Amino acid sequence: MPNPTAAMLVIGDEILSGRTRDANMHYLAGEFTKHGVDLREVRIVSDDRPAIVAALNALRDAHDLVVTSGGIGPTHDDITADCVAEAFGVGIDVRADARAVLEAHYERQGTQINEARLRMARIPDGATLIDNPVSAAPGFSLGNVHVMAGVPAIFQAMVASLLPHVTGGQPLLSQNLRIQRGEGDIAGPLRVLAEEFDDLQFGSYPFQKDGAFGANIVIRGTDGARIDAAMARLSAAFPE
């Protein structure tokens, strides 16, 4: 059986403006790789309701699961939960279990819950909560869409809460060989090797440092023996 496929939807004007550098995609890709989930697509959209809804519907139709990042805080521009509800055609309101989590959290802090903080307890009908051990405000899952915060520490904690409930496949393995020749010299033999080992993924990534140049060739797949065989052939073709 092939590994399940996934997409990520990063939401926020701050990402597109360059004010904030996204770290969540890199983290999610690494965790999914270990869990046997193939991250196939990442989209970044602004804080625009029609754009978010359209992207959600496209991605959830095309992939086994979708993870969103950002837009579930207490301010007016945090509209992800509303967009998910619209995409699925369900209602949304403050939910008792989410409210209880927030009330307990703010009580421990000696802080009073207010209308803005209650926005983080608005959950689409039919969704299940994703635990947030960092700041309490939960994410949620609805269908194959999993909604998480954009703050990296919170996002990572939510991914850890989600993964035990995601059925993965075979972890993606990889090996790397650095070849000190230009890509124009290695492209032909590399193409032949990739065609022979068509169950594996071959990537060529140029480098230039301290006067040396060449390419890092990465071979990826789920079968360690096949990767070993392909790497042996690659090493023999380009002995250093």
> What is this structure's pTM?
0.87
Co-location of 150 and 57 in the same domain: yes
Q: How confident is the model at residue 38 (pLDDT cuts 50, 70, 90)?
A: very high
Instruction: Look at residue 152 in the predicted model and tell me its pLDDT.
Output: 96
Q: How confident is the model at residue 1 (pLDDT cuts 50, 70, 90)?
A: confident
Domain around 43: 5-165
pLDDT digits (tens, 9 = 90+) for 101-117: 999 999 999 998 999 99
**Domain count for the chain:** 2
Determine the pLDDT at residue 140: 98
Task: Return the structure tokens found at 239.
Answer: 């002995």
- Do residues 28 and 70 share a domain? yes
Q: Would the pLDDT of 35 be above 80?
A: yes
pLDDT level of residue 22 (50, 70, 90 thresholds): very high
Asked if residue 116 and residue 72 are part of one domain, the reply reads yes
Q: How far apart are CA 69 and CA 8, in angstroms?
A: 8
Asked if 200 and 221 touch (Cβ cutoff 8 Å), the reply is yes
146 and 215 assigned to the same domain: no
Asked if 80 and 13 count as a contact pair (C-beta separation under 8 A), the reply is no
Residue 209: pLDDT over 90: no
For residue range 62-91, what is the model confidence (pLDDT) as tens digits? 999 999 999 999 999 899 999 999 999 999
- Domain identity same for 160 and 182: no
Closest CA to 179 of 140, 213, 202: 213
**Residues 60 and 66: beta-carbon distance below 8 Å:** yes
What count of other Cβ atoms lies within 10 Å of the Cβ of residue 201?
Answer: 14
pLDDT score of 15: 94
Are 24 and 79 contained in the same domain? yes
- Judge if 106 and 193 occupy the same domain: no
185 and 109 within one domain: no
Beta bridge partners of 174: 220
> Which of 165, 183, 201 is the C-terminal boundary of a domain?
165
Q: Is the pLDDT of residue 202 over 90?
A: yes
Contacts of 110 (CB under 8 A, 6+ apart): none
Residue 122 neighbours by CB under 8 Å, 6+ apart: 81, 82, 92, 93, 94, 95, 98
Mark whether 131 and 178 lie in a shared domain. Answer: no
Query: 122-136, pLDDT tens digit by residue?
Result: 999 999 999 999 999
The Cα–Cα gap between 52 and 75 comes to 17
DSSP conformational letter for 181: S
CATH number of the domain enclosing 158: 3.40.980.10
Asked whether residue 2 carries a pLDDT value surpassing 90, the answer given is no
- How many C-alpha atoms does 166 have within 13 Å on its Cβ side? 30
| CATH code for position 181 | 3.30.70
Give the list of residues 6+ apart from residue 44 with CB closer than 8 angstroms, or none: 9, 10, 11, 12, 15, 16, 22
Is pLDDT of 240 > 80? no
- Residue range 145-198, pLDDT digits in tens: 999 999 999 999 999 999 999 999 999 899 999 999 889 889 999 999 999 999
The pLDDT of residue 212 is 85
**Residue 210 reports pLDDT greater than 90:** no
Select from 165, 188, 210 the last residue of a domain: 165
How close are the terminal C-alpha atoms of the chain, in Å? 38
